A and B are shown apart, each in its own frame.
Chain A
C-alpha cells in the first residue's frame, strides 16, 4: 500500500499494477509520435503538421491544364506555373472553408457535392456551377456502375419502411444514403478489444 514504484512485479498487488499502467501511458505517447510520422510519409516524409501553404498539386498537371487555355504557339514561364500552383492550393482551401461553413450551418458533418456547388456560386464562381453539375452526373453514373447491386439495394431500403430484414443485412460502411441520393462517405471506424486482464483486479 506504499505505492512503491520500485516494485516491478505487477502480479503482487493490483494497485502496483495501476502504477505500472501509468508507466505504459508514457510509452504510448511516444508511439503516437511514431504514428504521426508514418502518416506524414505520403507527403515526402516531412515530419510537421501541414499548413495549407505547404501542399500543392503537382506542377505537371497544373501546367498541362494551362496549356489547354493558351494557343499552341504560346509558352508558359516556370514562375507562372508555380504561381498558378500556389493559387490553386489557395483556391481549394477557399472553396472548402466556405463549403464547410455551410455544412456546419446545416448541422451536417460531411461535406457533399451540393455544399461545394453552393460555395462556388457564393464566391462568385457561379459560371462553373452548370458545367460542374454535368460532371457530377457523369461521376455518379460511373460510381453506380462500379457499385452495382449493392448500391441499388441501399437506396431502395431507405425508400421503404424499415423492416427487420434491413437490420439483419448491415450496410457497407462506404455507402451512406440521405434523401434517397447515393453518396460515398469515407467512414473511419476503430475497433478495440477489451483487455480481459483489466477486469480481473485482485486486491490482496
Chain B
C-alpha cells in the first residue's frame, strides 16, 4: 500500500532519469515508470546490471501481460453474466492458463 502513495513522485523521477529529450520519447513509448521496474529487477540478488533497453522491453511486456490477463479474466466475468471484472475472474484465468502457472499461490488467490 505504501508503494502506491509515491506514484506521482516516481513517475517524474523516471522521466528525469534519462534526460529531457529522451523523457519525451519515453513517455510516448512506455506507460509504466521505468525506475520502478528497474527497482523490482534489482530485488533479485543475481541481477547486477540491466541495460536500459531491457528495462524498456520488460515495461512493454508487462503492458501486454496486463492486457492478456484482463481479457482472459473477462471471459469468466461474462460467463457469470457480470460486467464488472472481479478478483475471482482473475483467479479462474490463472488456474486455467498454463502460462500463468507461476502466479498460482499468490495472496490474491485467497
Contact = CB atoms under 8 A, between A and B. Distances in A.
Interface residues of chain B: helix, strand, loop or mixed (majority): helix
Interface residues of chain A: helix, strand, loop or mixed (majority): helix
Nearest to B87: A79
A64 interface: yes
Interface in B21-38: 21-22, 25-26, 29, 31-33, 35-37
A111 B7 CA distance: 26
Contacts of A89: 40
Given A61-B32, A65-B31, A77 B85 contact: yes
Interface residues of B, number: 71
Interface in A30-65: 42-44, 46, 50-52, 54-62, 64-65
A132 B44 contact: no
Given A70-B70, A75-B85, A135-B60, A123 B51 contact: no
Given A95-B58, A113-B54, A135-B57, A69 B90 contact: no
A87 B25 CA distance: 27
Interface residues of A, number: 77
B16 interface: no
Interface in A79-126: 79-80, 82-84, 86-97, 99-101, 104, 109-113, 115-117, 120, 123-125
Interface of A: 42-44, 46, 50-52, 54-62, 64-66, 68-70, 73-77, 79-80, 82-84, 86-97, 99-101, 104, 109-113, 115-117, 120, 123-125, 128, 131-132, 135-136, 138-140, 142-143, 145-146, 183-187
Given A69-B67, A90-B106, A145-B25, 20 more contacts: A42-B9, A42-B39, A66-B70, A69-B71, A77-B85, A77-B87, A84-B69, A87-B100, A90-B103, A92-B37, A92-B62, A97-B46, A113-B53, A113-B54, A117-B57, A131-B60, A136-B56, A136-B57, A139-B53, A139-B57
